[in-house]
Amino acid sequence: MKEFFTILDEKQVVLPDNIEKLLKSCKGYTVFNATLDLADAATNGREKNIYEVAYDVPGKGIFTEAIVQRVKNGIAANYTEPYMRRRDPGSMSIADDLPTDKKRFRDKYGYDFTKLQEETFDWLAGQELAVFFYFAGRMGIGSLGMAIAPANAAFFAMGLSMLQEMIPVDRLKEGSVLDSVIYVAPVFRHTHFKGKQVVVHKRSEGMHEVYAYNLYPGPSAKKGLYSVVLDQGEREEWLTAHCSAVQSISPYDNITTFMHEGASGGGKSELHQHILREPDGRVALGKNRITGEERYITIPRFCTFNPVADDMAFCHPSLQRKDGKLRILDAENAWFIRVDSVKEYGDDPFLEKTTINPTRPLLFLNIDAKPESTALIWEHVEDEPGKPCPNPRVVLPRGCVPNVVDKPVSVDIRSFGIRTPSCSKEAPSYGILGLYHILPPALAWLWRLVAPRGHKNPSIVTSGNMESEGVGSYWPFATGKQVTHANMFLKQIIETPRTTFTLVPNQNIGVWQVGFKPQLLMREYLTRRGVAKLKSDQFQPARSSLLGYELNYLTIEGSKIPSRFLKVYNQTEVGFEGYDAGAEILQKFFKEELQKFLKEDLLHTGKRIIDACLSNASVEEYNEIVPMSYQYSFSNLDDYEQSNGFVDMKE
């Protein structure tokens, strides 16, 4: 192959001066054009089956960040510190002067980033580097970028090359321009940041630089480049939703597309799971945490489904039609799947089969495997004896996923998931959600502003208390202004009146432990029935207005769901007393979190919705602000603005 810079010259691709200077002055670099080559480099050569990713840390000596092993189905990497096995939501800082609501680097750390930036380039110049081009996005939506990492961290580069589309140098389009770059310098977390995960974003006109000072892909290769896409969308006025999606097909050939949003741990990846049967063929609905009672239902035949997206989906203007439904396209080239719910063989047969016999090497993180063995997704490393890591992961290319949908889809049901704790009279909590709720559009918008992170989040380092993930549930990795994203969400919701909104819990319904069964049963039921065909007496305003409409009854294939799973106050262990105390917790949380959005540039309709929440509005009052009805299908936003005063932003 021709020399790297010769190819770039021939293709008229100009690298930024700092990158060109780094590559021409560094100890050495290898340009990678295929993920398979990075898989070979992950253990410092295909002939080796184990490798320690270690660095000489001033004042600390040689420190091993991760142990990488070659396994039959790919590469398994395990971090030596339990802290590094989950994403730290406080890792981001901003090192530029462009508009942002995030903490600036100089305010967070007390000095200007320029000094650290120079030290970073000096350190990288002393390393053997791995370099490659990527496209952050899919099917022409997104931007071209470049990754520069120490060569001994090839496992990290491998994951990045899978999550984003890797672009071989000889396939670069003539005149291509870099829009982003990610620099990886893990040693600095020890020398400058007390061992913490830190990712610094430096934006400028036409360039978004990401400085990753750790080797966990979550805040950098995954969410860091999600930040790049969000930044592009903020400038161009379009959204990349934090969601999963499936096309579900009923036994009667009805096709319903579900889009499931929510904070980390909110059930996005789990939307792709099949419902497991008990040995006798029944389906476990839940187990009472107090009495130990178990409840089962019988479903003769399940729906089938085709996966669409796992964590990110473009809501780009080029995808939309004037039919009143939101259209989305998967924004990723591979999926970063958490497998903590797969605790033993048989818990997820389809994912187990896919990962045991993949069509190409996979990357496993926090999976207990031995060199040359087969990595099994239910074998999780332990953070300490007897305590499995809550965040085992596998990076799964879309091309390995059976029946994956490779085109844009129109969304029928847009759900929002929340991890809920157990709730009782003695220990009230916000675990008052029934199996699922129907939300008016105005309430759907509020849930996407507040985005509760929820109970026992397994994906990130957290206090364990109820916290907000922020607007869109992607705010921890957005770099701009919250109100800008809030306005874009509100416009999007109003412009897609034929997409129906639901709210669904996971883990607990009152005192009943249910796991992710609510969203899976919702998928089964609404694929068969559809919200538009619910009987008028089937739902009513929920006792807590923040929960929209609750179900009065629900029957799946002849199996009636007990009312205590639909209305938590019907559980004797909860009652009105426990429910109302939990509703107050939820209401207080919303009122506190919504204050940050009451800014001058918030759209007038948005201010009306927030004021309604602050005034304890009823479900009907929310519905009056933005009607929930298929008959309200405005051809464009101007029609809605004229009838509802939407255009008056600062009234």
Residue 196 to residue 213: CA distance in whole angstroms: 9
pLDDT of residue 464: 57
pLDDT of residue 532: 61
Q: Is the pLDDT confidence value at 249 over 50?
A: yes
pLDDT of residue 331: 97
The matching CATH number, chosen from 2.60.40.1930, 3.20.20.70, 3.30.420.40, 3.40.449.10, for 4-39+88-236 is: 3.40.449.10
pLDDT of residue 637: 39
Tokens read off for 137: 């996005």
* Residue 322 parent element (H or E): none
Residue 401 to residue 305: CA distance in whole angstroms: 12
pLDDT of residue 265: 84
Residue 463 to residue 467: CA distance in whole angstroms: 9
pTM for this model (two decimals) = 0.92
Strand partners, 62: 56
Q: Is the pLDDT confidence value at 632 over 70?
A: no
Q: Is the pLDDT confidence value at 343 over 50?
A: yes
Q: Is the pLDDT confidence value at 648 over 50?
A: no
Q: Is the pLDDT confidence value at 361 over 60?
A: yes
Contacts of 359 (CB under 8 A, 6+ apart): 399, 400
Q: Is the pLDDT confidence value at 371 over 70?
A: yes
Instruction: Identify the CATH class of 418-644.
Output: alpha beta
| Secondary structure class of 6 (helix, strand, coil) | helix
Phi-psi region of 12 (alpha: psi -120 to 50; beta: other; left: phi over 0): left
Residue 377 to residue 364: CA distance in whole angstroms: 8
Q: Is the pLDDT confidence value at 97 over 70?
A: yes
Q: Is the pLDDT confidence value at 524 over 80?
A: yes
pLDDT in tens, 41-89: 999 999 999 999 999 999 889 999 999 999 999 999 999 999 999 999 8
Portion of the chain with pLDDT greater than 90, in percent: 89
Q: Are 114 and 16 spatial neighbours (Cβ–Cβ below 8 Å)?
A: no
Q: Is the pLDDT confidence value at 640 over 60?
A: no
Q: Is the pLDDT confidence value at 400 over 80?
A: yes
E strands within 374-473? 382-384, 387-388, 393-397, 409-410, 413-419, 437-439
Strand partners, 147: 132, 182
pLDDT in tens, 481-497: 999 999 999 999 999 99
Residue 504 to residue 548: CA distance in whole angstroms: 11
Q: Is the pLDDT confidence value at 389 over 90?
A: yes
Confidence of residue 7 (pLDDT cuts 50, 70, 90): very high
Contacts of 592 (CB under 8 A, 6+ apart): none
The dihedral built from the CA positions of residue 307, 238, 200 and 38, taken in this order, carries a sign that is positive
List where CATH 3.40.449.10 sits in the chain. 4-39+88-236
Portion of the chain with pLDDT greater than 70, in percent: 94
pLDDT of residue 636: 38
pLDDT of residue 466: 77
The Cβ-side half-sphere exposure at 231, using a 13 Å CA radius, reads: 28
Q: Is the pLDDT confidence value at 527 over 80?
A: yes
| Secondary structure class of 293 (helix, strand, coil) | coil
pLDDT in tens, 404-447: 999 999 999 999 999 999 999 999 999 999 999 999 999 999 99
Q: Where are the alpha helices (DSSP H) in 346-497?
A: 349-356, 441-450, 482-495
pLDDT of residue 638: 41
List where CATH 3.90.228.20 sits in the chain. 418-644
Tokens read off for 26: 């560094």
When the pLDDT of each residue in the chain is averaged and rounded to a whole number, the result is 93
Token pair 């002393």 is found at: 126
Q: Is the pLDDT confidence value at 650 over 50?
A: no
| Secondary structure class of 461 (helix, strand, coil) | coil
- The amino acid sitting at 214 is N
Q: Is the pLDDT confidence value at 463 over 60?
A: no
pLDDT of residue 145: 97
Dihedral angle computed from the Cα positions of residues 265, 267, 268 and 270, in that order, rounded to the nearest 10 degrees = 120
Q: Is the pLDDT confidence value at 205 over 80?
A: yes
Confidence of residue 630 (pLDDT cuts 50, 70, 90): very low
